[in-house]
Amino acid sequence: MNLQEALGRWLFRFGRDDRLPVVLTQRRIFILPTRAGLLYGVVLCVMLTGAINYNLSLGHALVFLLAGLGLVAMVHTFRNLLGLRLMPGRADPVFAGEAAYFTLHVENALPLPRRALELAFGKNDTVSLEIPGGQQVSVSIPFMTIHRGRLDPGRVTLSSRYPLGLFRAWSYPHPPLSCLVYPKPLETPLPSSTPSWKSTGSRGNSGQEDFSGLRERQANESPRHIAWKAVARDIEHRPLLVKQFDGGAAEELWLDWTQTPSGNDTETRLSLLAGWIVIAAREQRRYGLRLPERSIAPNSGAVHRDACLEALALHA
């Protein structure tokens, strides 16, 4: 650990916040003038020199008023962050290379609106939002993923320049957030017939299975199957319904670690497997996954797909 890191740890209290909600107190908010603030200071100095040189008494008064305005702006910028409460939300799994969106619930307990809040993970894209007085807003903050696995995006930078842009107040809350990142799928043709095929006849017309009914939607199920028409019929009371399909490919496809070219490194092989899973799920096939240390029995559906991808993501 270098000196800068140690200083940062001491000064900015880096480290995960375990007590929830994370409340932004005086100790956690930092404030410094922005470039515009420095320019403002220079302009005031020049104006003061002019006022002295031309003996403009009202010029003195104007400069002093503006200096006071700068100080007041500092307090108000600080106030814009003070007392915000942060609760971590969930983040949907993504493939490596995509942006993961972490949900954060930000609550403003005071009656004053908080404006022009900016949230970002490090150098990732910034999300700006405002929270009316006494309300809670949920915000999704992007984080560009690179590697598969369980992702801790680290501390959030919550900052604001409101009201005058002369100061920037910021805080580094680090709520416990995590997101599952699947391997980046490399889509190659599905492996052809192998001994793991259990052929029970002709391949069904995948994608043209019979509609068999509706059932309540489970969390994690793909929104693609929601029966929007049915839902719209009675939006007040019905839970979300999904269409269920029967039949389908009778054959079972085994996606096996050993089928991937052994000349590649682990990550590429995982990516190839992920690509097969994506294709198989798209074609609504029944498939199973076989990894060196575990295997998942053939099945279909969104839950199964996610379970397979998760196994790949967490592959040691």
Partner 1 sequence: MPNPFRSFLQKRRIRPRSQTALVALEHGAIPWLLGVAVATTLPHAEHLPWWLSLFSAALLLGRGWLWKSNSRLPARWLLALLVIVGTTGIGWQYRTLFGRDAGVALLVFFMALKPMEMHARRDGLVVIMLGFFLLLTHYFHSQSIPTGLWLLAVATLLTAALIRLHGGAQPVREIVRYAAWLIAQAVPFMLVFFLLFPRVQGPLWGLPQDAHAGLTGLSDRMSPGSLNSLIQSGEIAFRAQFATPLPDRSRLYWRGPVFDTYDGQTWRASPLSASRSANKPATVEYSGTAIADYTITLEPHNQRWLMALELPISLPEGSALWPAFETLAREPVRYRTRYAFRSALDHVANREESPRMLQQALRLPAGFNPRARELAGEWRNTLNDPEQISAAALRYFREEKFFYTLQPPLLGQNAVDEFLFDTRRGFCEHYSSAYVVLMRAAGIPSRVVTGYQGGETNPVDGFLTVRQSDAHAWAEIWLDGKGWVRVDPTAAVAPSRIERGIGAALPAGDPLPALVRIDTDWLLQLQRLRYRWEAVNNAWNQWILGYNPQRQREVLSRLGMEDPGWRSMASAMAIFSGMCLLLVTIWTLARRTRVSPEQQAWQRFCRGLERFGIRRAPWEGPFDLAERVARERPDLAQLARDAAGHFAELRYGMGQPRQLLALKECTRQLASHRRIKV
**Which of 9, 38, 92, 133 touches partner 1 (CB under 8 A)?**
133
Output the six-digit token pair for 66.
């503006």
Structure tokens given for 228: 């929007």
* Cα–Cα distance, 175 to 312 (Å, whole number): 26
Give the HSE-up count for residue 277: Cα atoms under 13 Å, Cβ half-sphere: 33
**Binding segment toward partner 1, per CB under 8 A, in 39-47, 171-179, 206-214, 251-259:** 39-47
Least separation in angstroms between CB 157 and partner 1:
11
Q: 18 in helix, strand or coil?
A: coil
Smaller CB separation from partner 1, 10 or 54 = 54
243 part of the interface to partner 1, by CB under 8 A: no
Q: Using CB under 8 A, which of 56, 144, 190, 231 touches partner 1? A: 56
Which tokens sit at 285?
A: 């096939």
The only residue of 8, 14, 30, 137 in contact with partner 1, by rule CB under 8 A: 137
Is residue 135 part of the contact set for partner 1 (CB under 8 A)?
Answer: yes
Phi, psi of 79 (to 5 degrees): -60, -30
Nearer to partner 1, 47 or 214 (CB): 47
Q: Which residues contact 119 (CB under 8 A, 6 or more apart)?
A: 104, 106, 126, 127, 128, 129, 139, 141, 156, 157, 158
Chain positions contacting partner 1, by CB under 8 A = 36, 39-40, 43-44, 46-47, 49-69, 71-73, 75-76, 78-79, 82-83, 105, 109-112, 115-116, 120, 123, 125-130, 133-140, 142, 161-166
